[in-house]
Chains A and B, each alone.
Chain A
Amino acid sequence: MLFNSFQFLLFFPIVTVIYFLLPHKFRWIHLLVASCVFYMAFIPVYILILIGTIVIDYIAGILIEDAEGKKKQGYLFMSIVANVAVLSIFKYYNFFVDNIVDVLHVFNFKANIPLLNIILPVGLSFHTFQAMSYTIEVYRGNQKAERHFGIYALYVMFYPQLVAGPIERPQNLLHQFHEKHEFSRTDVVAGLRQMMWGLFKKVVIADRLALLVDPAYEHPESATAAGLIIATFLFAYQIYCDFSGYSDIALGAARVMGYKLMVNFRRPYHSKSISEFWRRWHISLFTWFTDYIYNPMVIKLRNGGKVAVVFSVMTIFLISGLWHGAAWKFVIYGALQGIAVVYEILTKKLRKKFFKPFSKPVVNTISWLITMSYLCFTFVIFRAKDMKTAGYILKRIGGIFSEVGQSRYLLTTAVTYLPPLLWIGMLELIYYIQKGADTPQFIGTRPKPVRLAMYYALGFAIYFLGVYENRQFVYFAF
């Protein structure tokens, strides 16, 4: 079920009202059933995979807690292998087979390994990572094993964050299912406000930008080079509004029922370095990588100096690239992000020295421009159909100066792309006006008439300007 669907418009109020009408002891059953209905609206049979991983990790959690030493480690290892195996089969099997066949072909071997004809289960990478964080935290002793199977199942399946995160940690979420959440007007209003803002970003901005980005990337030969540059910039905002919009709806839906999920985005495009970007973008995933891969690696290789850091950084970015999809373009995308972060780490002192004579605003502006340009460059690879198309687009962009001289070139490009750029301008203006505050929070602190006017403006924009063509959230594919 999509958050921007009319099924959800019915589903959400019904589930929420019933939730508050039920006594606390029955609420977990209600939420679990609702989450199953929510998930089964996609491909019902895939719930079996989810149930499988839930059972494995539930048992693993208890075994890990009760065991000691090598046995404990063994149970954790088995649980991780089981999760990674599910992910590998459904997400990476065909990719691996394709590459093995290609490599064998180089050595004149003809391999006939069958491919799987399956659709990737929605949100598989999200709930698998969330399940893994549970067993790891139990192993580390930061979380007690959950003995209540239903509550544990709900931790993995809680519908607001089931298919596209935030990827929660058990310490933040599990205990909330045991607590009684009284109806709170503050939470309900704040949650609804956040959902409204998220829906606005998704259906009004992201899906509107997609109407221009999609044709430019599907048929780059028909777009001008300037058009491709702007389309890439628009894509940066499309994917941000799409994904952060989803997160806002998820956080808002949970908040209405009194649950607090972790923040997933902090205005990533205001970053002045790639490292900063990754601290503001998809925070729940990157803290996951930091907590469970990067930090343990750095500790393990602590005598390795900078080489160890570089190795650890590249490892998490390569994995993160692969996390986004089973294709070389994602691996390259991850590698490029890693290279940028490594560059920033290695040249930190040098850059500081270089920029010393310049004023802070100048340094910030230059840093922001470099960061945005680099991000957009990597987004070409991320968004393009494949590496060949990405290469073609980058080549066209590189040759922009040979096109600009054509008659009406800039006019045609401006007419096509100006309206969506205005949407982005509006979004940034909102961010500028509210200074550091969170937008829904900012709206909530305005005087009543202004607040009401903003609710109506957002509501009307969603209703009349939203794009409703059954558009999935981009990150559902991961």
Chain B
Amino acid sequence: MKRILYKILLLTLPVIALFYALQYIVNNGLRRSKMQYYAVWNDIYNGATHADILITGPSRTWMQISPRILDSVLPLNSYNIGIDGWYFPMQYARFRVFMQHNPKPKYVIQNVDLLLFLDRKDLFLSEQFLPYLGDTIIRNITNDYKGKYSFAEYWFPLFRYNNHINLIKEGVRSYFQVGRQSTNKLYKGYAGIDQPWNNVYEEVIKHNPNGITRENDPKVVKLFEEYLEYCKQNGIQLIFVFQPILNEELALEKSAGAITGLIKKYAAEYNIPYLDYSNDAICYDRRYFIDHQHLNREGAELFSRKLAADLKPVIR
């Protein structure tokens, strides 16, 4: 039995060692990669955002608020850390990682909308967290979702990249700076999307003929209060922005009054400027939208210009 165990070890140990070495290379390579989803995380981890104005929120933020436009109007440097598909808990986790690795921003533009106090169940776009699983904040936040990383993904070498051969390749290429390098398609975290109107909104209407009722998640509300308190304690000026939403859809939202009421209450309590674009002219024109929630590039840049102008008196 000893002999066979010895043979098995002889066959597997060099491979395990090789995998650990490769994991080190891939993790570090991806931490330098310009691939979308890693580019922003890497800027945050490397303290390369140089943000006086930090913009945070979900997809409605990263594809709708252009730092290029804000920088051209405002006297300060901005950076967009909006995160695709995620609600406030993950936005807050990203903010906390930001605070660990970057100087404190003067202003934080926080997206507020009717989805603010919700959370999702699954670990959406889970690949984006893979190189950072050693980070306590990432480890804790990802543990709260369905599809969370298993013991094997944390501890078995390279196993976290199971079914992601493309990421292994990208990591190696990026680490050794060989082969085709990914280019960063985002500008300071922002990318306008050129897409025509799709039928997501029609599907929403079909599935919600009697309107949409949203119930705030108390855990998220509590977390949001913690965030407000943190910013207050640290002298960070928050600015709430309710970005444009298709006017017809807003009419479907049964809980809109209650949610915006809560947002306004926090704004008043913490002395936070509240810029509300939910009834802006953009909201009435489908030409600016991809779907009821998301602006296309034209809409995003028009909105960014309006926002920059409105921020001017707030930001000094």
Contact = CB atoms under 8 A, between A and B. Distances in A.
Given A463-B159, A466-B162, A467-B163, A6 B150 contact: yes
A407 B3 CA distance: 62
Interface string B118-160: 0000000000000000000000000000000011100000110
A466 B159 CA distance: 10
A401 interface: no
A452 B10 CA distance: 12
Contacts of B150: 6, 468
B17 to A, nearest CB: 15
B161 interface: yes
A199 to B, nearest CB: 14
B4 A185 contact: yes
Given A20-B1, A185-B3, A188-B4, A464 B165 contact: yes
Nearest to A464: B162
B178 interface: no
A189 B5 CA distance: 11
Interface residues of A, number: 17
Interface in A449-471: 452, 455-456, 459, 463-468
A465 B163 contact: yes
B251 interface: no
A452 B15 CA distance: 13
A464 B161 contact: yes
A188 B15 CA distance: 21
B11 interface: yes
B144 to A, nearest CB: 18
Interface in B1-56: 1, 3-4, 11, 15
A183 interface: yes
Contacts of B152: 6, 468
Given A463-B162, A466-B162, A189 B11 contact: no
Contacts of B158: 463-464
Contacts of A463: 158-159, 162
Contact of A455 (B4, B11, B159): B11
Nearest to A188: B4
Contacts of A459: 15
Contacts of B15: 456, 459
Contacts of B163: 464-467
A468 B162 contact: yes
Contacts of B4: 185, 188-189
Interface residues of B, number: 14
A40 to B, nearest CB: 20
A325 B165 CA distance: 39
Contacts of A188: 4
Interface in A158-178: none
Contacts of A185: 3-4
B1 A183 contact: yes
Contacts of B165: 464
A269 B3 CA distance: 40
A273 B310 CA distance: 77
Interface string A42-78: 0000000000000000000000000000000000000
Most central of B3, B152, B161 by chain A CB within 10 Å: B152
Contacts of A464: 158, 161-163, 165
Nearest to B159: A463
A17 B163 CA distance: 32
A222 to B, nearest CB: 12
Most central of A455, A459, A463, A467 by chain B CB within 10 Å: A463
Contacts of A17: 1
A161 B186 CA distance: 54
Nearest to A203: B162
A467 B164 CA distance: 11
Nearest to B5: A17
A188 B4 CA distance: 9
Contact of B151 (A6, A20, A452, A466): A6
Contacts of B159: 463
A407 to B, nearest CB: 18
Interface in A358-412: none
Nearest to A469: B147
B121 to A, nearest CB: 15
Contacts of A20: 1
A173 B264 CA distance: 73
B230 to A, nearest CB: 36
A185 B1 CA distance: 8
Nearest to B163: A465
Contacts of B151: 6
A67 B163 CA distance: 60
A185 B4 CA distance: 7
A468 B11 CA distance: 24
A240 B92 CA distance: 46
A363 B117 CA distance: 67
A27 to B, nearest CB: 14
A245 B158 CA distance: 25
Interface in B146-194: 150-152, 158-159, 161-163, 165
A455 B10 CA distance: 13
A169 B30 CA distance: 55
A464 B22 CA distance: 13
Nearest to B12: A459
A387 B11 CA distance: 51
A468 B159 CA distance: 11
Nearest to B152: A6
Nearest to A21: B1
A188 to B, nearest CB: 6
Nearest to B151: A6
Interface of B: 1, 3-4, 11, 15, 150-152, 158-159, 161-163, 165
Given A188-B4, A452-B11, A466-B162, 16 more contacts: A6-B150, A6-B151, A6-B152, A183-B1, A185-B4, A463-B159, A463-B162, A464-B158, A464-B163, A465-B162, A465-B163, A466-B163, A467-B163, A468-B150, A468-B152, A468-B162
13 contacts: A6-B150, A6-B152, A183-B1, A188-B4, A455-B11, A456-B15, A463-B158, A464-B161, A464-B163, A464-B165, A465-B162, A465-B163, A466-B163
Interface of A: 6, 17, 20, 183, 185, 188-189, 452, 455-456, 459, 463-468
What are the 8 A-B residue pairs with the smallest beta carbon separation, nearest first? A183-B1, A6-B152, A464-B162, A20-B1, A188-B4, A185-B4, A6-B151, A464-B165
